[in-house]
Amino acid sequence: MNTGTQSGQSLPARAGLGLKPEHIGEIIATEPEIGFFEVHAENYMGDGGAPHRTLSEIVARYPLSLHGVGLSIGAERPLDKAHLARLRRLIDRYQPQSFSEHLAWSTHDAGFLNDLLPLPYTNRTLARVSAHVDEVQQAVGRRMLLENPSTYILFEDSTIDEIDFLDAIAERTGCGLLLDVNNVMVSAINHRLDPFAYIDRFPVERVGEIHLAGYDETVDGAGDRLLIDAHNSTVADDVFSLYRHTIGRTGPVPTLIEWDNDVPAFAVLLAEATRAEAVLDEAALRRDARFSRRA
């Protein structure tokens, strides 16, 4: 287990938004009521320029969550030391309240694949991913959160259940988990599983952040329902119902609205965050009522 990392200050248990360049001017001018903003780390790994000027203004006003998409934690090959060094500089510069990455791989030999690809859940993969998570945490000096994937295939050689796999990584490394509720819905529908049963088994005590997003829907070759993790629309009603169920288990947890494609006006994103914030407020009231009864 990695004991040489620090978690740092936590995000507020509120709703946040992904920071989009087209909205930054409006955000700085109006300072909307929002819990936090999240950025993709790889978009800010240059040394200077407009991205850093604007992000510095945002960080002066709001808590920051840093979400990586390029570490390729599940890859067979070693982690990219130069990428880790850039990530460490970025974390040192902005001191985000949260840092997270994906349970996925995106590199092979000398190439980089513009996708987050799934892994077989085996003891061999578990050892490799755990070693990589340990290496990341030591390199950046922070506890990280690892996100559950959205998947479209299952591996015949998997011998470990996904929840058990994530829980084992967290147990071995001391990392936390990022619970993407939309990913749960996408994977469950695609594999004919019960998304509510998945949430009921998930180790919610390890969850440091939740993600919500929209999905696309089509059918597969057999005519069955197929969901795509598209991040291009409002959170679907079934995902939002699953989110309410999740917050019923976790209590209030920082919740991000992800909308990365076909980005709408900022007001649309703010409305989605307000919708999630209402669920968090309800959970906080229930928690406070329980504490009052015990006092």
Quick check: 117 pLDDT over 80? no
Determine the pLDDT at residue 4: 41
Question: Which pTM value belongs to this model?
Answer: 0.92
What residues does each domain of the chain span?
A: 15-294
Residues 35-77: pLDDT tens digits?
A: 999 999 999 998 888 899 999 999 999 999 999 988 999 888 8
Quick check: 115 pLDDT over 80? no
Calculated CA dihedral for residues 33, 270, 35, 284, nearest 10 degrees: 100
Determine the pLDDT at residue 5: 45
- For the chain, the average pLDDT equals 92
Confidence of residue 110 (pLDDT cuts 50, 70, 90): low
Q: Specify the range with the lowest mean pLDDT, choosing from 55-64, 85-94, 114-123.
A: 114-123
Given CATH 3.90.1300.10, say whether it is the number of domain 15-294. Answer: no
CB-based contact 26:61 (threshold 8 Å) = no
Q: Specify the range with the lowest mean pLDDT, choosing from 24-38, 51-65, 99-113, 264-278.
A: 99-113
Instruction: Quote the CA–CA distance of 154 and 173 in Å, as a whole number.
Output: 25
3-state SS, residue 14: coil
Instruction: Quote the CA–CA distance of 176 and 93 in Å, as a whole number.
Output: 22
Determine the pLDDT at residue 221: 85
